[in-house]
Amino acid sequence: MSKQISVGAVKIGGGAPISIQSMTNTDTSDVKATSEQINALAAAGCDIVRVAVPDRKAAEATAEIKKLVSVPIVADIHFNYKLALICVENGVDKIRINPGNIGGADNVRAVVDACKSRGIPIRIGVNAGSLEKDILAKWGKICAEALAESAEGHARLLEDAGFEDICVSMKGSDVPSTVQAYEIFRSKRDYPLHLGVTHVGGGTGAAVKAAVGIGSLLLKGIGDTIRVSMMGEPTQEVVIAREILYAVGLRRPELEIISCPTCGRCKVDLEEYVERTKTALNNVKSDSPLRVAVMGCEVNGPGEGKDCDFGLACGPKNGILFAGGQTVKKVPVESGVDELCALIEGAIK
């Protein structure tokens, strides 16, 4: 098991639930726009939000931003250790900085001392695009070994300064080498790992790369916090991150609707049936998560939805309602959704 760190009230590693992170794309010195985006991310389910701190104005803005938000904030800093010191003073909850890039041991010591005095962890964030020249020369190209070696080098600098309140990421845009880099690093150090695949653009391709990269590591028990990096509106990252956690079984949604892909046997507009079911059950409160199946035929539907709590299999004329793997009754298919919802509401009252 990895070590545990605390980012504000959120624990990372050491068996804590996998947290979801994202990053604002506003100008951090615009306090209003940035705090509004942070609050929107938090409302969408983001546990920790990172802000870019490229200059002094942005670093100073973190003081005001902290007053306007409730989720922990991470200050993302490259090269300038003085910006890190300002952000620590302003009460940010974590610093993302690579100690090998901040101008030597004295500067590392200054950041470490500031973070120690406030109990603030540091994330080492290695990216394929910013690997050290000597490491690239050694390996001849961007590869898993190079990413892991870079991360280890940065970790050693913090360790030499007596600091182990560390989280580490090694993000490439190539999924296999990113996954392998995390595996290599995990075999050497037990710091909590922040998972992500970077520079993947936007849209479906980016979501798939993130899901495969992050998901395959989580399935191996590697990773403690995740960020889906995507171009566009940041809250979409949170939605996809949550779906990844659902898919690998590390979180369960309150309401999960299972439906089949449909085929020539389906004689109803199943998408419409699913949407109506989602809308109708949206406000239904259950003590435990609900899994509901809405299937496209009565031939395979009941069997495919057997492991769901409740279900409807839609035949051409009649639908079959089922619960806990057993048939409950046959109903006219047009009233199937209403009957299904009534069955569920009656059962969970």
Binding residues (CB under 6 A) for ligand SF4: these are: 260-263, 265-266, 295-297, 299-301, 304
CB nearer to ligand SF4: give 155 or 295. 295
- How far apart CA 255 and CA 282 sit, in angstroms, is 8
Residue 282: CB minimum distance to ligand SF4, A: 24
- How far apart CA 232 and CA 230 sit, in angstroms, is 6
Residue 326: CB minimum distance to ligand SF4, A: 18
CB nearer to ligand SF4: give 262 or 286. 262
- Give the residue among 100, 101, 97 at the shortest CA–CA distance from 121: 97
Residue 253: CB minimum distance to ligand SF4, A: 21
Instruction: Specify the length of the chain in residues.
Output: 349
Say if residues 117 and 165 touch (Cβ distance below 8 Å): no
CB nearer to ligand SF4: give 174 or 298. 298
CB nearer to ligand SF4: give 102 or 313. 313
CB nearer to ligand SF4: give 157 or 268. 268
Say if residues 161 and 109 touch (Cβ distance below 8 Å): yes
Residue 303: CB minimum distance to ligand SF4, A: 8
CB nearer to ligand SF4: give 108 or 268. 268
Residues forming a β-bridge with 295:
313
Residue 316: CB minimum distance to ligand SF4, A: 11
Q: Compute how many other C-beta atoms are within 10 angstroms of the C-beta atom of residue 235.
A: 17
Residue 79: CB minimum distance to ligand SF4, A: 55
Strand ranges (E), the chain: 5-7, 10-12, 19-23, 48-52, 73-76, 94-96, 122-127, 166-171, 194-195, 225-227, 255-259, 290-295, 310-314, 318-323, 326-332
